[in-house]
Structure 1
């Protein structure tokens, strides 16, 4: 399991395909603040709730200077369907080999119903304009996470 990151660490760079067929790099956001969130699987109840919360709050987040990017190990066709079905208004990136999740410490041992397995740990990172982590949160809850993130960022809810 990769080491977990903390505020002040350099954000690992990445280039991944998005649901619209473009390559998106962390470097594309240099000079801006970006929320990078990792979620386990598109179109599952928790991930849908979290994505829709970001969708519903995107205008206020962008108004406060934050872009949003969601990353999962899902293949691109699944991300395309998810983005279209839920009218998502931010990029969804495919990290099929979970290398980026590993670099962020968001891939590791999980337990569910008494079974232990390797998987994506729901996590959120805020990258500052210089490419450093302003915030690193692991094992976040899908429901209510965006409201908590807004409070942590000092934004009005």
Structure 2
């Protein structure tokens, strides 16, 4: 298992235009590295939609977001960029080599629960502009379907500062953990009620509770 304190494995992956990027290119910078399923995955598009709202805030504070998909670059361009207008780096790892290096986990139960979640949240997904098609599920290659999404915070020296493997497929690393990764001298103190910072926005807990309830479903048996 690749965990906190370990050196993050390097990679050399193409973006949607074919340009190769290495993790080592970001040495000296802080990175949020996010592993997703396949490009047309509505659960991944939902989490990216939430992350998009935070991207500028994090970039202004020295944290760069890199999202990896187990799909071809043209599929990422079609499904992710066309819907999300992503302000972060999108990379293709269709052979899932980097997933292996970061010891990605797999779960049939969680994938099945994610499918139920998508059906229940269809209206909310459509309201967010997220479309999807069952025909795009890569059933001939089940690994991209069963892979558990994960997030890694990587420091300036290429060390893993924090790691999170989703409990539910629509989860991502909590905003509190990501915000704690911001250098202390760059943390916001504006006290604005609409600020993304949990320190500034007094109604943050209420907003998070509402978001949790919005897409809740009964998954007591999903271990």
**TM > 0.5 fold call:** yes
1:65 is matched with 62
What is the CA-CA distance between 1:144 and the residue it aligns to?
5.7
Where in structure 2 are the equivalents of 1:7-46 lying within 5 Å? 7-46=4-43
Flag structure 2 segments of 5+ consecutive residues without an equivalent.
114-141, 183-196, 199-223
Taking a change above 3 Å as real, the CA distance of residues 109 and 140 of structure 1, as seen in their structure-2 partners, is closer
Does 2:149 correspond to 1:122?
A: yes
Residue 16 of structure 1 aligns to a residue whose secondary structure is strand
Does the aligned pair in 2 maintain the 1:124–1:140 contact within 8 Å? no
| Higher-RCO chain (CA-CA 8 Å, sequence separation at least 6) | 1
Please report the RMSD computed on the Cα atoms of aligned residues, expressed in angstroms: 2.0
Which of 94, 99, 102 aligns to 1:101? It is: 99
The structure that is helix-richer by fraction is 2
Does the aligned pair in 2 maintain the 1:50–1:142 contact within 8 Å? no
1:131 is matched with 158
Does the aligned pair in 2 maintain the 1:123–1:140 contact within 8 Å? no
- The normalised TM-score by structure 1 is 0.85
- The normalised TM-score by structure 2 is 0.62
Larger radius of gyration: 2
